[in-house]
Amino acid sequence: MANTLIFSPNVPQSKDQAVIWTGLTGCGDSLALASAIKNENRLFVIVTPDNQTALRLEHELAFFLQGEHPILHFPDWETLPYDVFSPLPEIISERLKALALLPQVKRAH
């Protein structure tokens, strides 16, 4: 049953439905996400608890998807709301780039 989850994971079918995947270790979460992305004809937004997890998923998804589907990275500000300084210009630039490319995202096939 665990192998079935990885190769054909359940995804929400409505906006108010939650699906929780458990028991995935190593890069199992990336493999499950890649499988869901390949099988579903819709946009996936993946939210992670931290930047390190986001970068890991980005690299692993790039490996599993082999360039078949675009991956846009929307980095964290890396500042707190009460900080007196602004985020790095590179972070602002990467966020703006992702937002600008989002309307153009199309499935490769």
Give residue 20's pLDDT band: very low, low, confident or very high (50, 70, 90). confident
pLDDT exceeds 50 at position 75: yes
Q: What angle do CA 69, 56, 67 make, to 5 degrees?
A: 20
Total residue count of the chain as it appears in this document:
109
Mean pLDDT of the region 34-44: 88
From the list 20, 24, 23, the residue with the least C-alpha distance to 10 is: 20
Mean pLDDT of the region 14-42: 87
Average pLDDT, rounded, for the chain: 84
Dist. CA 72–CA 74, nearest whole Å: 6
